[in-house]
Amino acid sequence: MQRLATIPAIVDQHAEDAAFLWSRRRREIDGPLLDEIDIGRIDQRLDANLQGLFASGEAAWAAASARFSDYPEAPELFVMACLALHWELEKQLATVVEAAAALGETGINAISGAIARTPRAKLRSFVANWVDSRETILKCIGLSALWHHRVDAGPRLGELVANGHAEVRSRALRLAGALRRRDLLPLVAERLATDQPQERLAASLAACLLGARRAALPVLDELLASANVSPGKVFDIRLLASAENGAKTWLRKFLDQPTSRQPALAATGLLGDRSIVPWLIERMREPQSAYAAGLAWRDLFDVDFNDTDVFIVDPASLGEQFADTEETSLPFAERANAWWDEGRGPGKHKQFRSMRKHRLAAIRASFDSPDLPLANWRRTQRFPAWM
């Protein structure tokens, strides 16, 4: 890190824009709205701002630190982590880790995001020490590095799966599944019975990836009753791991239960059965179901609905019954019906695969192919931001 002649206002703008762009990327990276080209454009702009900071030396660190003092949140910490890792500075990285510990899980995610953008060569001097550390947060950061760069820790991974801290075990389980470490299946099976919901979810996904779906399915069913796990994530894994006919029967019973009806409705698009279109359109007319029906609709078609008028961002325009609905993107039932019935359906559009669909396709492919490592679905295409 050098002291260079810089323009403070420009350096500050780089720090602000980098934090904003990473925050947006993180919000959309597994979502149904953007595809790999859209994310690639965000990446292009994010990288440009980071490069501006890297070229600014000490002024960049001062600007990023000052911004974090004013806004002690994950996006600002991400920028600091990118700088510390790029320059391979232990003191600054220790400051970042200390700040991450105060933020908790979001702080670890910020460092994880920075690690994902850092070349392996710049991480090499840190990762072994992180993984071997007695500090839980450093072990989690080390496992994030192994995950993002798909590096196998060898015998050490088994020790991490059996670690005394659930946060470490969950990350180690995820890595074991992604790398298809079948030798660790007995340890993975043990973690299916833990009392930590997030860890059980990680173990269930790992078990499915390692060929033990039958053991994982009952655990996933139990997790749907837990308030500490996103039901959407459970439905996704459960449906991808189930045979097609069995999946339909299984999902139908949750549509009849008030507590699970909305996440089950949102998951119906994964089945790929377009015969449900009329039923989905009717659900769009119900304020309590419209958002979930919209998610299912997006899963059902490989279409960029941002280029259509099917979705609106002003719920009040859907009628008085939607007046109190939180402002978000909702499907307009009449427009959805016209789009489907009047020949403007999926065949009239260029194919569009959202980042969510890339994620689901990667998981499904690994479930179906025992020797196929879990693909990095977050790989994007890079295009200039103005295109």
Q: Which residues of 292-317 are buried (b: 16+ CB within 10 A; e: fewer)?
A: bbbbbbbbbbebbbeeeebbbeebee
Reported confidence tier of residue 345, pLDDT bands at 50, 70, 90: confident
Q: What is the pLDDT of residues 245-291, one digit of tens each?
A: 789 999 999 998 888 999 999 999 999 999 999 999 999 999 999 99
- In sequence order, what are the beta bridge partners of 312? 330
The whole-number pLDDT of residue 245 equals: 79
Q: Which domain holds residue 303?
A: 245-348
Q: At what angle do helices 90-103 and 105-116 cross, to 10 degrees?
A: 140
* Domain-embedded: residue 296: yes
The whole-number pLDDT of residue 4 equals: 54
Q: Please indicate whether residue 342 or residue 334 has the higher confidence score (pLDDT).
A: 334
* Domain-embedded: residue 249: yes
* Domain-embedded: residue 343: yes
* Domain-embedded: residue 230: no
Give the range among 106-110, 134-138, 251-255, 368-372 with minimum mean pLDDT: 368-372
Give the range among 57-66, 162-171, 272-281, 369-378 with minimum mean pLDDT: 369-378
* Domain-embedded: residue 252: yes
The whole-number pLDDT of residue 46 equals: 96
Lookup result for tokens 């900071």? 53
Q: Please indicate whether residue 41 or residue 381 has the higher confidence score (pLDDT).
A: 41
* Domain-embedded: residue 211: no
Separation of first and last alpha carbons in the chain: 34
The whole-number pLDDT of residue 386 equals: 47
* Domain-embedded: residue 56: no
Distance, CA of 205 to CA of 341 (rounded, Å): 39
* DSSP E strand boundaries for the chain: 311-312, 330-331
Q: What is the pLDDT of residues 175-206, one digit of tens each?
A: 999 999 999 999 999 999 999 999 999 999 99
* Domain-embedded: residue 334: yes
Mean pLDDT over 63-81 rounds to 97
Q: What is the pLDDT of residues 85-96, one digit of tens each?
A: 999 999 999 999
Backbone angles phi, psi at 214, to 5 degrees: -60, -35
Reply yes or no on whether the pLDDT at 380 is more than 70: no
% of the chain surpassing 70 pLDDT: 96
- Average pLDDT of the chain is 92
Q: What is the pLDDT of residues 118-173, one digit of tens each?
A: 999 999 999 999 999 999 999 999 999 999 999 999 999 999 999 999 999 999 99
Give how many domains the chain has, as a whole number. Answer: 1
Show Cβ contacts of residue 62 under 8 Å, excluding neighbours closer than 6 positions: none
Retrieve residue 324's tokens: 């109190």
Reported confidence tier of residue 382, pLDDT bands at 50, 70, 90: low
